[in-house]
Structure 1
């Protein structure tokens, strides 16, 4: 069968690459994709993810068996609805179901209504009321822009000045707002943070692994929030018992709640979680695979992903097996200035991974006059596997140390806390 993946980043590279490994799959297309994907035999399609009619025409003309949607913006803009309307199979939630991610207010209200554990919160549209609430509650406190923000719309304010600045940016200046600005202000939680992924079809859900992302730009979890600077899977600090607790107290009631609210979910649910001293709490939901978590999660998947998705779309229970004898760890290489004033058009050398034990997932890059050049904040992701997390970490950093690129940076401590935990 022929498959179409929507998106252009490292996440979509990982998904499309996994599909190419299936004996069921003849061709994998990616719209628009990026030039780095071509080395893995992925066919690029020069159609923007918001050009619904062109994507529908392509899927029909190429007899695409089904389409997998990677990025949240395509879900928010109703691409699934457009495909559903013309009878094309697609894996991803429709616009109403995607509110689980696209509206933080909807997600928080859903969790409150159905007793799904989450941080205490209030919602504000007025700057002065929001500021008064923050002053009353005290810091640290968490401020989230309501809506899509590419992983950057969350401020963990440790001081009143940080909170004031965040409220000003989000409510007065409308940063991240598609319509009327709105914020969710939550209690500050402390504990072990991790992400759990499940493939969902209505009330059925299938566990697909756990990962830990590193959101802050710099070592020691310093600097601004980013879309993610590295990840690893599995997470030694997360026991099998805790995974079962998440499935029973978070995933199961959430998928049932979405059905009860007439928003049945089909696609990937990504639960951002924290184990606190008071118990498990949901930080957020995403309605798709994360980036860069996908690049490590799919390396841990010991099943044919195309077969798994095909089974779910056809109402069958898939067989999902995860590797239990290895770890995957990966590091994002980003352009100087990311995530704020990012340097562009950085010349990129040919990336020779032969003998390194690493896999490279390409993201923000394009063809320049004489070589590839950067085209975004996060340029590529170096993933490595090992029988221990330390072995995987050593492989990834050995490659990065020996292949430096001017005007780029990366974190040097991905997975370090987990490695210390296992000692």
Structure 2
């Protein structure tokens, strides 16, 4: 069978590569994809993710068995609705359910209805109202843009000056509403789950590194690296999160006639008072996908087919060792874009032991060039974090360019425990 993955980043590269490993799959298309995917023989399709009509026509012409949606933008715009209305199989939430990520206030309302623990908050629609609210907050405080922001719409303000600058900046950027919420202390982790027929199938937890620079310094990014599993998060803690957070959210969505089907990603924090929600996403995380999917020893194409048929998925996980992923980005990310520059050849990447998942890259004169932002993720599995780290960083050192950067300490929170 032929399959389609919607998206163009390292997450979608990882999903497509996982699907391609199935003996039942002939071709995996990625729309629009990126030229780095050629390393794995994935066929890219030059159609924009917003062009639902052209996407549907392509799927019908190629007789694609089913489609997986990677990024949040087409989900929030209603791509699942469009495909299902055309009678096509697609895995992901419909537009009404995708609001769980598309609107932070909607997510907070659902959490309140489901009695799911999260930080206390207030929403503000004007600059002055938000600035006035800062007179009474206790720092640090979390300020969130209400809407999609590619993982960069959250600022942890340590003081009043930073908070007021953030409020001004968000509204100047056209954010219609922002949330000011309490800062939660504890161990953060990412719990993704496959959801179908109101049943939750959790995946192994991962830990993302959001800040740009070593030691969790610098601005928030879309993610600079991750590792899986997370030994300092106990099985009991994960079980608590499933029963007190994921399952109540799925049940509440169903009760509200907006049933959730797809990948439910919970950004969580283990506090002294139990596990609480930082945010929800409605798709696989990036870079978490790059370290979680490779740990499934079964057939991902079969898993999605089972979910779409309403069957219980066959999920088999590698129980030993650890998978580490490090993101390489263009200098200036996430605040500035840089002039495109030539990257190493695909052959040079292929000679390394790490697995490379490409993101913001383009092709010029048969060469890979940067397109700004996060360029690729290097991942590797080993028996220990030290061995995985040693291999990944050895490979990156041989591919490093002065116009790129990456964190040297991915996994440090596991090491200090």
**TM-score with structure 2 length normalisation?**
0.98
What's the counterpart of residue 389 of structure 2? 393
For residue 318 of structure 1, give the secondary structure of its aligned residue in structure 2. Answer: coil
Contact kept, 8 Å, 1:232 with 1:296, in 2: the verdict is: yes
Q: Equivalent residue of 1:299, what SS? A: helix
> Is the contact made by 2:197 and 2:310 (CA closer than 8 Å) also made in structure 1?
no
TM alignment of 1:54-133, pairs within 5 A: 54-133=54-133
Give matches, 1:326-365, under 5 Å: 326-351=321-346, 352-353=348-349, 356-365=352-361
Rounded Cα–Cα distance in structure 2 between residues aligned with 1:225 and 1:202:
35
Q: Unmatched 5+ residue regions in structure 1? A: none
Q: How far apart, in 2, do the equivalents of 1:364 and 1:114 lie? A: 38
Q: Distance between the aligned counterparts of 2:350 and 2:370, measured in 1? A: 22
Q: Distance in 1 between matches of 2:17 and 2:352?
A: 19
Deviations 1:51-80 (A, max 9, x none): 000000000011011110001001011111
Q: Which residue of 2 aligns with 1:31?
A: 31
Post-superposition offset of 1:325: 1.0
Q: Does residue 1:206 correspond to 2:201, yes or no?
A: yes
Using the TM superposition, name which of 399-408 and 144-153 deviates more. Answer: 399-408
- Tell me, in whole angstroms, the C-alpha distance in 2 between the residues paired with 1:357 and 1:326: 16
Structure 2: tracts of 5 or more residues without a match: none
Q: Deviations over 1:202-240 (max 9, x none)?
A: 311111121111001011111111000001000111111
Task: Please report how far the alpha carbon of residue 26 of structure 1 lies from its aligned counterpart in structure 2 after TM superposition.
Answer: 1.1
Q: Are the equivalent residues in 2 in contact too, given 1:131–1:164 (CA < 8 A)?
A: yes
Distance in 2 of aligned mates of 1:39 and 1:128 = 51
> Structure 1 residue 419: deviation in Å?
2.1
Tell me how far 1:39 sits from its aligned partner: 1.8
Q: Which residue of 2 aligns with 1:266?
A: 261
Aligned length: 416
SS at 1:156 equivalent: strand
Separation in 2, partners of 1:66, 1:344:
38
Aligned match for 1:221, one of 216, 228, 236: 216
Separation in 2, partners of 1:331, 1:98? 28
Query: 1:366 is matched with which residue?
Result: 362
Query: Partners in 1 of 2:406 and 2:112 — Cα distance?
Result: 38
1:301-332: per-residue Cα shift (whole Å, max 9, x none)?
Answer: 12211100100000100111111112110111
**Deviation of 1:376 (Å):** 2.3
By how many angstroms is 1:101 displaced? 0.6
Q: Report what 1:408 is aligned to.
A: 404
Q: Distance in 2 between matches of 1:312 and 1:103?
A: 26
Q: Which runs of 4+ in 1 moved over 6 A?
A: none
The equivalent residue for 2:377 is 381
